[in-house]
Amino acid sequence: MTDKQIIRDEALDEQYSIIHHKSGLDILIWKMEGYRTTEAMFVTKYGSFNNIFRKAGQKDFTAVPEGIAHFLEHKLFENEDCSAFALYAKTGADANAYTTFDHTAYLFSCSQNWDKSLEVLLKFVQEPYFTRENIDKELGIIGQEIRMGLDSPERRCFYALLRALYSEHPIKIDIVGTEETIAKITPELLYECYDNYYDLHNMFLAIAGNVDEDKVIELADKLLRDCEDRKVETYIPSEPRDVCQKRIELTCPVGLPIFNIGFKAEPLSGEERVKKSVAASVALELMSGTMSSLYKRLLDERLINSTFGYDIMAKDGIFFTAFTGESEDPDRVCELCIEEIERVKREGFDQRLFDIVRKSTYGQIIRELSSPERVCSGLMVSGMMDGVDSFCQIRALRELTAEQCRQAVDELIDPEYCAVSVVRPE
């Protein structure tokens, strides 16, 4: 049976619906009256992590080539007669797709004919068509994408950091794979991955904009096909607490050395992961944002430029923070960043500066509520992938304290578990 629940945040006076459709698909609808743009995303919880798997009841795991999730995303746009892009051209929608470490999303944005575009989306994602001929055609296209990635110093530095931090977890594997691994992809393997992970029980649909909820359900009833819950299990090897390597250096044709300074933490899940991610993000802004004493010192010593920043990645089995940028002396940057981390652990954060940064960050998220695209991807999709409601991040930021930020630094940004990747000029 199809049933519906309303998720509401009283402080924001905002709400959205979750339709638990009889097919097994969860449909999230955030109605934004008066808006012209509609954003829709059809998501499967299948990404580059999911290379070793088995269905419920099977004894043995199946291993597939690296990069197959991304390859499948490309090929799903083609059917026997035409491409999905040709169908979207008739509705006027702007369509795209992407593959990440843990999910693949198919999306469109439009200002008219949202229902016709949604019909295209629901149809083509459920109609795989893989042949040896169209796989061979795609090998050259994705091979070129792989080579372009190898020409990106920033991308190479990022993946070098992942290899330095993690010895077992598949996050260290490039999402697009390599030319050697994708050459092993066959129609049979694509269908096997599709059948296991493109199961409506493992997927969800998120829509934000001025849409008619009843029409969405009508299209879902018409187009979604009932399927069994395959309960596929992904094998993720156990990851040790220590970093794999303290340092990785590469050379590329760059003007200045590029650096990533990462701090590996214990993985978290659910609401705890969201709360800790919010606290760590604000803490990193307090420590290294443009208002911080560390940022001023790095600039005064001419150690950084405008590329300096920070990052957080928190997914199943992983949690790390990083400082990134360009510098003539990445080791000195690392030294000063660690000094600031240790100082914060001892002294905590200035309350006045914390209030400014927290309110500023909160304001940025509230502004995103006026964008169907950001509501759809930044709140609904992110929340579903974390296993929480779409307001969880906003609530965590609203309730955040300076002491929680200090605790996040203490627990999640530990110099003992630091690794550095550097790309130096050839």
pLDDT value at 2 more than 90? no
Mean pLDDT, residues 42-62 taken together: 93
Read off the pLDDT of residues 368-418 as tens digits, 9 standing for 90 and up.
Answer: 999 999 999 999 999 999 999 999 999 999 999 999 999 999 999 999 999
Helix axes 68-76, 132-150, angle to 10 degrees: 120
Read off the pLDDT of residues 328-337 as tens digits, 9 standing for 90 and up.
Answer: 999 999 999 9
Give the per-residue pLDDT at 278. 98
The residues assigned a catalytic role are: 73
For residue 227, what pLDDT band results from cuts at 50, 70 and 90? confident
Nearest alpha-carbon partner for 229 in 37, 40, 57: 57
The string of DSSP letters for 48-86 reads TT-SEEE-TT-SS-EE--TTHHHHHHHHHTB-SS-BHHH
Mean pLDDT, residues 205-233 taken together: 94
Q: What percent of the chain has pLDDT over 70?
A: 100
Read off the pLDDT of residues 313-325 as tens digits, 9 standing for 90 and up.
Answer: 999 999 999 999 9
3-state secondary structure of 118: helix
pLDDT value at 80 more than 80? no
Read off the pLDDT of residues 331-359 as tens digits, 9 standing for 90 and up.
Answer: 999 999 999 999 999 999 999 999 999 99
Token couple for 257: 């050395």
Full set of structural domains in the chain with CATH? 3-234 (3.30.830.10), 247-425 (3.30.830.10)
The string of DSSP letters for 288-341 reads HSTTSHHHHHHHHTT---TT-EEEEEEETTEEEEEEEEE-S-HHHHHHHHHHHH
Give the per-residue pLDDT at 58. 86
